[in-house]
Structure 1
Amino acid sequence: MENAILGEVHNQMGIDGAGGNAHAGLHPGVKLRHIRAFLDIAAFGSITGAAQAQGVTQPALSRTLAELEALLATPLFRRDGRKLALTEAGALFRHHASLGVQAFEAAANALHPGRAEAVIRAGVLPTAATQLFPHVALRFHALRPDSTLAIITGPHSHLMQLLRRGRIDLMLGRMPDAGEMQDMSFEHLYDDDIVLVARAGHPAQAAGLSLAATLRRYPVILPPHGAIIRRPVEALLAAHDLSALRPAFETVALTVGCGIVVQSDAVWFISRGVVSGDLALGRMQVLATDAAYLSGAVGLTTRPGPAAASGVDLIRQITLEIVAAGLHR
């Protein structure tokens, strides 16, 4: 349906997909709504997801995109399976369009000094949500009592979409994939292990079972597809001829995963930072995985631009101090 609507509007407006009807500079018909629609579609990789986020219909957003492509006389997306992928021209346009929207936001904020700093929006992934970020939040409040720190949690893909669209000012957690880092900046803080945890006194340890035997005998909880740590865990399973293993559950949520583990013999692949508190209290234990190095970088991901810059910089300084003091573990 998306292709049909785009094609209809292309025909109506005369876009030929090869750069015809080109204009010098920006066509006067291009509006801010076109740019915001384009950036949201690029962030979600589909018109359907962007339309749901904007609260508009899919046909309406398809027409907005088709109008923009016609006005620019350049296709911005190509079909890649079930997703829309940016063309080379689309990627270039997103870079400059994103900076342009941020500049407009900065101009609006400049009319009301201090308003943009009243609320700092931080996206926090599970690996940093349990130990590290509570320290950051409390220190930030002590230094900025007149500011509100809005904390948004959720899966990695969701927070990256919010960050790219300017709906959050920073993301704290595992490093995004290289393909997601266009127009983004990542500052490494520390490495966090991926561990296999079980309840205290789990029978697998007493029996001296191998990793493969443990995973075949007991219910397994894996990170969901789309979680940053899913792929290294799958690589570990493949190395032990367990690629066909069917997990009983999939989650990286502390409350759900911990509740299942401590009440059963289930075992859970999860970032150490998520369960560090339960490990310290002795509610869980780490089982050997025979993996020499199963970890990933944790840090701050930000997008360029002046929005909430001083607040973001303060969070950065606080986070560095807390990590240096070892309070994140």
Structure 2
Amino acid sequence: MKTNLRHLRVYLAAHDGGSVTRAAEAMRLSQPAVSQALGKLERLAGQPLFLRRGGLFPTAAGEALALRLRRAFGLLDPALSDIAPRLVLTATSAQLQALVATCEAENFTLAARRMGMTQPSVHRAVSQLEQEAGQKLFARTAFGLMPTRVAERLAMAARLAFAELDQAEADLAELAGREVGAIVIGAMPLSRSFLLPRVLARFRRVRPTLPVRVLDGPYADLVSGLRRGEIDILIGALRDTPPAEDVIQKPLFQDDLMIVARPGHPVLENPASLARYPFVVGLAGTPGRQAFDRLMAGFGTPPSLIETGSMILMREILAITNHLGCISRLQIAAEIRLGAVVPVPVPMQGTSRIIGLTMRSDWLPTRAQSAFLDAIEAELPGS
């Protein structure tokens, strides 16, 4: 639905005015131009957006589109107006997409490759936007194109507005009996091994064909993707406070940590000797690592640490060395059942962590995304 932004504004004017005539007056266009814009949007939607009975009466699809457009322009227009009021009417989808790509690549050639366009086309789109803005949006430096603060704010607003337009396309497809788009999940270690497999299996029973992308990576990168609208939800350990003002956290259940070792490890004869052995632990700054550090304050400092978010790597290191591992009890439960590792019987007070969802505070899920959230609730421990 990343079509002509002008056409989308015409649609909102028609929705609010209830007639082609009022929309034409509001947008300072001819009535045939308004009718043409509405017809194009209906063809893209694959269904009527209005009933025409002496006026324009929105269908269910028309109301769904209007809701998403208000959200999209509510994000985009303040950022455009802050730069130059006329940009609200003159900025195009192509120009904003070029701006976003250039902000990310910091180079016109790389931005063009990402967009599948020629370098002159991207350069021209950004230059046109700068001309309308009446100011430079990038500083040319020896290290590349550095976006100004206003350019960064506009790029963020454009990303989120485009995400809303993608959501609009999914909403309209749903009403037409089709599936469009994908669900994108940022998965932290516990969710990948414990919760997410069962959630995906349940979700597949109700949505057998909708694409699902599961991303992992550093927490900061996942949060950045979430805030840009590239990721729908994060599943994993929550932070003590939300990572940003535009992000909320929803607790789901509690988990605690445990110390594990290979079968036959000498620590099993003397659990109080924990600090004599090297450890495989979570990455610095994660809730699990912070809990480990608090725990070890009562035992002493281990001789060395290997930091990783990979349970597989931990398991393999433990199998061939005298390293110990500190990991989520739920995450390692299957490995314990298989006999790959065994728990070390030491008190683990103070290692409890809250596992939950992290989302954008203003996120409005599609029906498919709501079905995925329902699947999560149904697979929680104790459900």
| Fold equivalence (TM over 0.5) | yes
- Residue 308 of structure 2 corresponds to 251
Do structure 1's residue 195 and structure 2's residue 258 form an aligned pair? yes
**One-letter code aligned to 1:257:** M
- Aligned pairs for 1:136-285 (under 5 A) are 136-176=199-239, 178=241, 180-213=243-276, 218-225=277-284, 227-237=286-296, 242=301, 246-247=304-305, 249-285=306-342
Deviates more, 1:250-259 or 1:273-282: 273-282
- Aligned pairs for 1:290-309 (under 5 A) are 290-303=347-360, 304-306=362-364, 309=366
Do structure 1's residue 122 and structure 2's residue 122 form an aligned pair? no
Relative distance call for 1:235 and 1:72 in structure 2 (3 A) is farther
2:226–2:234: 8 Å Cα contact kept in structure 1?
A: yes
Q: Secondary structure at the match of 1:229?
A: helix
Q: In the aligned structure 1, how far is the partner of 2:309 from the partner of 2:269?
A: 26
Q: Deviations over 1:235-266 (max 9, x none)?
A: 444565539x531x221212111111123211
**One-letter code aligned to 2:247:** M
Structure 1: runs of 5 or more not aligned: 1-20, 77-83
Identity %: 22
Q: In the aligned structure 2, how far is the partner of 1:310 from the partner of 1:223?
A: 35
- Residue 38 of structure 2 corresponds to none
The partner residue of 2:164 within 86, 103, 114 is 103
Q: Deviations over 1:135-182 (max 9, x none)?
A: 111111111123233333333233223322333322211114635243
Q: In the aligned structure 1, how far is the partner of 2:242 from the partner of 2:172?
A: 36
Shift of residue 74 of structure 1? 11
Relative distance call for 1:131 and 1:179 in structure 2 (3 A) is closer
Q: Secondary structure at the match of 2:334?
A: helix
- Residue 378 of structure 2 corresponds to 321
2:278–2:304: 8 Å Cα contact kept in structure 1?
A: no
Q: In the aligned structure 2, how far is the partner of 1:92 from the partner of 1:200?
A: 54
**One-letter code aligned to 1:230:** R
Deviates more, 1:111-120 or 1:313-322: 111-120
> Structure 1 length normalisation: TM-score?
0.66
Q: In the aligned structure 2, how far is the partner of 1:242 from the partner of 1:193?
A: 21
1:157–1:226: 8 Å Cα contact kept in structure 2?
A: no
Q: In the aligned structure 2, how far is the partner of 1:72 from the partner of 1:170?
A: 37
> Structure 2 length normalisation: TM-score?
0.58
Q: Secondary structure at the match of 2:230?
A: coil
Q: Secondary structure at the match of 1:209?
A: helix
**One-letter code aligned to 1:128:** S
**One-letter code aligned to 2:314:** G
Q: In the aligned structure 2, how far is the partner of 1:128 from the partner of 1:277?
A: 13
Q: In the aligned structure 1, how far is the partner of 2:344 from the partner of 2:101?
A: 42
Q: Secondary structure at the match of 2:313?
A: helix
**One-letter code aligned to 1:219:** P
2:260–2:324: 8 Å Cα contact kept in structure 1?
A: yes
Q: Deviations over 1:7-56 (max 9, x none)?
A: xxxxxxxxxxxxxx9644746675657766887899x9x969xx79x859
Q: Secondary structure at the match of 1:256?
A: helix
**One-letter code aligned to 1:201:** G
Shift of residue 291 of structure 1? 4.6
Q: Deviations over 1:161-219 (max 9, x none)?
A: 33223333222111146352432232211112122221123211202434334xxxx22
Q: In the aligned structure 1, how far is the partner of 2:126 from the partner of 2:294?
A: 39
Structure 2: runs of 5 or more not aligned: 1-81, 139-145
More helix by share: 2
1:211–1:288: 8 Å Cα contact kept in structure 2?
A: no
Q: Secondary structure at the match of 1:158?
A: helix
Root-mean-square deviation (CA, aligned residues, Å) is: 4.4
Q: In the aligned structure 2, how far is the partner of 1:191 from the partner of 1:220?
A: 24
Q: In the aligned structure 2, how far is the partner of 1:220 from the partner of 1:147?
A: 41
Structure with the greater relative contact order (CA < 8 A, sep ≥ 6): 1 or 2? 1
1:39–1:165: 8 Å Cα contact kept in structure 2?
A: no
